[in-house]
Structure 1
Amino acid sequence: MKKCMLVLLILSPILMGCWDKRELNELGITLAIGIDKVEDEYQVTVQVVVPSEITMKTGTGRSPVTLFQENGKTVYEAFRKITKSSPRKIYPGHLRMLVLGEDLAEEGIAKSLDLLSRDRELRSDFFVAIAKDMTAEEVLNVSTPIESIPANKMFNTLQTSEASWAATNGIKLDELIASMTSSGREAVLTGILVTGDQEKGSSKQNVESITPSARIKYDELAVFKKDKLVGWLTEREGRGYNDIVNEVQSSVTTISCPEEGKATIEIIQMDSKMKGKINNGEPEVDVNIKVKGNVGEVECQINLNDQKTIVELEKITEKEMEEIINQAIETVQKQYKSDIFGFGEAIHRSNPKEWKKMKEQWNEKFPELTANVKVDVELVHTGTVGNSFLEKIEVK
């Protein structure tokens, strides 16, 4: 026992010491990274916090972030070359966003992700997005209102949007790599772009106006085959994709009323189950989705106190959602031929032996696969009032 205590006393200074300790004022806290391909080199742009501008006492009103950028034959080389211009070592331990340029995505993103996947300083809880019709540098070079640090704005917007709108999807690095390396599933990423005047977007004036000259927004889903971008899903098709893969937390969908006018259904709960099977030697998938919703808005004359009306609205909603989902499946099968839904994984789970036989030919099998989609909608609430007050106005 005494010998053990003696060993612990000798080792304690070593065990308690921080051999790789670095002071905070030696680090450039990086919250967003952009990677582009420029000719045959990688261009890395980092968005670094300016500490003096995020404190109330010492802030001067200048930008709370600054950009550093370098090119290199590899992503790692470009990162290290940033030390030529940055007074502090780039520290990505608090990274919120990784933005990949569209040109890079079309060429392939796997090589550019290798460093980030193995770097011990990086956590895996940051979002990855594709700069749509532009470079990652252009996205990172925009000042943002409300959230003064653009990286936080991008992270929070995507987090909020995926929780409230079915067309966006926040994908993190480990999820992206899992999809790219999976047998029977391909990857998707949400698109990010800058609207308005990009030149003015980088200036202080962009956050001093009620209406900013440029805004960062998310739009459409990028479809990948292996690690290459092959196309984009529209907002409607993106909703269908998220319905299938059970990534909808809450959303709204607009439907036509039984006679004329529109109504909006709020989706409050969704559960999507996918089951693969072999039918006459060919792969087939059943997608069964159960939805609970509320009547959120009514712009037509219907009697919400009549249960028959509720049932009719449920049937209309089911039909609308099935059309959206089937359109997404058709687009992906015919145009992109990339199994982003994980239909191959479903076949693998249900029929491992059959999957083993067909996985090498899955690129040919997937476009011809039959997907049976069934949506079951239950409307549980109609709001705090019964029929719309619009009816009373129109009969005056």
Structure 2
Amino acid sequence: MRKRVLALLFMGIVIVLTGCWNRNELTDLAFVVGMAIDNSDDQIEVSIQVVEPQQINAKGGSTRIPAIMYKSKADTLAEALRKMMTVCPRKPYVSHLRVLAIGESLARVGIADTLDYISRDHEFRNDFSIIIAKGGKGADVLSILTALEPIPSNSLFDTLRVSSREWAPTTTITLDELITDLVSQGKNPVLSGIERTGDLKVGRSLDNLESTTPNGNVRLVGLAVFQKDKLVGWLDEADSKGYNYIEGNVKRTIGNVTCADGGQISFEVLNTKSNMKGVIKNGEPQIDIRLLVEQNVAEVKCQVDLMKLETIEGLQERSNKQLKELIQHTIHEVQAKYQSDIFGFGEVIHRNDPKGWQQIKDNWQELFTKLSVNVEVETKTRLTGTTSNSLVEELKKKK
């Protein structure tokens, strides 16, 4: 009897494990690499960019664009994506999504509903980049063709990745990072902005690839500031750089320092480390920021002797001063204009003094605008190049 029961149990397990109830054939799927979400007539308009594998693998080149856009509108994002199958011949598969572009008008209304659905759907991964289409629609920035990367969504993804690594005013924000900032106590999110330039109609066509100066293009344009889930404004290039220095996001970039006798020296930033501490003294919150920067001399356009230690020390002091002023300007700009703690100062206080945070959290937005922030910057110059003096200044002496 016991053996018979075990045999029946084993057969039941085998039957349950056999086959895949949720199986999808590759030929039935449309692989989505880019998605845009916009407002349209009080509805949600969803645009998906689907890869066309036959054109990517075509031998001898192809005269067709290797990606296609599909659009649908509905009252909710979930409904719009399901409705997409009335125009798309295959089921959209979003696990390979690389970029989500959100139109500015929708971002100003709020993105919580959008993120709620995306975070719940098991097919969405959490490692794709999210950007805001400044002054326009997300669908437009996804449709511009570029020569180096034939699929627009891949081009945007690569531009974000390279720019955030080499140019300080930009940064990449993924879904999980954005949700973490939204639900954290004492921190509001930022997202990179992107702007379409030139002729949209030409940018969408193969004609855009047949010129050394394309008529349509896209460019990164600073950071979008949020108050909870709503877009409230934009940081310019300088303040976006200041934000990333505060957050320790700067990996490599170029910074200019004014020489004592005029002219400039450019430094290549190699590495940065930012440390923030928050305390509450006599009922008043206070933040201390300490920034460490390693840099090399990149370009010299003034008369200095880089072989002298006092010269290097003087330039480092100027670097410290300019970076400190940049960071302070960014903080004051956000405090005065947007009253949104995008730096996570409240989160730092919450982490360092949980009891103290409970006493001030309800009034944090008001306290943030008056918050005292102490900034300390230390730069270290590693290399000065293969020549000691400016080539430009040496040539002037020959005249």
Shift, 1:386, TM fit: 2.3
Q: Deviations over 1:13-46 (max 9, x none)?
A: 6436322121111111110000001131000011
Of 165, 171, 195 in structure 2, the residue corresponding to residue 163 of structure 1 is 165
CA RMSD of aligned residues (A): 1.7
Deviation at 1:220, TM superposition (A): 1.0
User: What does residue 302 of structure 2 align with?
Assistant: 300
User: Structure 2: which amino acid aligns with 1:129?
Assistant: I
Contact 1:28 / 1:90 at 8 angstroms: preserved in 2? yes
Which residue of 1 is the match for residue 130 of structure 2? 128
Task: Provide the C-alpha distance between the structure 2 equivalents of 1:59 and 1:16, rounded to a whole number of angstroms.
Answer: 43
DSSP 3-state at the match of 2:141: helix
- Of 381, 384, 388, the match for 1:382: 384
TM-score, structure 1 normalization = 0.96
Contact 1:265–1:294 under 8 Å retained in 2: yes
How far is the alpha carbon of 1:7 from its aligned partner? 5.8
Q: Aligned pairs, how many?
A: 396
Q: Where does residue 139 of structure 2 map in the other structure?
A: 137
Over 3 Å counting, the alpha-carbon distance change for 1:7 and 1:297 in structure 2 is farther
CA offset at residue 6 of structure 1?
8.6
Q: Which residue is equivalent to 2:148?
A: 146
Q: Which residue of 1 aligns with 2:357?
A: 355
> In 1, distance between residues paired with 2:381 and 2:216?
40
Shift of 1:366: 0.5
Deviates more, 1:16-25 or 1:125-134: 16-25
Aligned partners of 1:53 and 1:63 also within 8 Å = yes
2:225 is the alignment partner of 1:223: yes
Contact 1:245 1:341 in 2 (8 A): yes
Structure-2 residue corresponding to 1:187: 189
Determine if contact 1:52/1:59 at 8 Å carries over to the other structure. Answer: no
The answer to whether the 8 Å contact 1:52/1:58 transfers is: no
Which of 222, 225, 233 is the aligned partner of 2:235? Answer: 233
| 1:124–1:4 CA distance, 2 compared to 1 (3 A) | farther
Letter in 2 for 1:136: G
Match of 1:109 among 101, 108, 111: 111
1:371 to 352, 370, 373: 373
Q: Is the 8 A contact 1:34 1:98 kept in 2?
A: yes
Deviations 1:305-357 (A, max 9, x none): 01111001101111111111111100110000000000001111221111101
Distance 1:368 1:101 in 2: 32
Task: Give a deviation string over 1:64-101, Cα, whole Å, max 9, x none.
Answer: 11110010000011111111111001111100000000
Answering whether residue 278 of structure 2 is matched by residue 276 of structure 1, we say yes
Distance 1:148 1:62 in 2: 10
The whole-number CA distance in structure 2 between the counterparts of 1:19 and 1:104 is 37
SS at match of 1:104: helix
Identify the match of residue 43 of structure 2 among 41, 44, 49. 41
Provide the rounded CA distance (Å) in 2 between the counterparts of 1:4 and 1:263. 81
Q: Distance in 1 between matches of 2:260 and 2:88?
A: 63
Shift in Å, 1:163: 0.6
Query: 1:5 & 1:170 partners in 2: Cα distance?
Result: 55
How far, CA to CA, are the matches of 2:47 and 2:171 in structure 1?
24
Q: State the AA in 1 paired with 2:114.
A: S
Q: Answer whether contact 1:302 1:309 (CA < 8 A) is retained.
A: yes
| Partner SS state of residue 171, structure 1 | coil
Letter in 2 for 1:46: I
Q: Structure 2 CA distance, aligned partners of 1:140 and 1:203?
A: 13
Task: Quote the sequence identity (%).
Answer: 43
Distance 1:391 1:5 in 2: 91
> Letter of the aligned partner of 1:307 in structure 2?
L
Once the two structures are superposed, what CA deviation does each residue of 1:274-297 show, in whole Å capped at 9, x if it has no partner?
A: 000112320010000111111111
Partner of residue 328, structure 2: 326
Letter of the 2:139 partner, please give it.
E
Residue aligning to 1:201: 203
- How does 1:91-106 map onto structure 2 within 5 Å? 91-106=93-108
Q: Distance in 1 between matches of 2:95 and 2:166?
A: 28
Alpha-carbon distance between aligned partners in 1 of 2:12 and 2:62, rounded to the nearest angstrom: 50
Residue 47 of structure 1 aligns with an amino acid whose one-letter code is Q
Distance in 2 between the 1:169 and 1:348 partners?
25
Q: Residue 210 of structure 1 is aligned with which of 206, 212, 216?
A: 212
Q: Tell me what 1:343 maps to.
A: 345
Tell me the amino acid that sits aligned with residue 372 of structure 2.
T
Aligned equivalents of 2:188 and 2:92: distance in 1? Answer: 32
Give 5+ residue unaligned stretches, structure 1: none
Matched, 1:288 2:290: yes
Distance 1:58 1:301, change over 3 A: closer
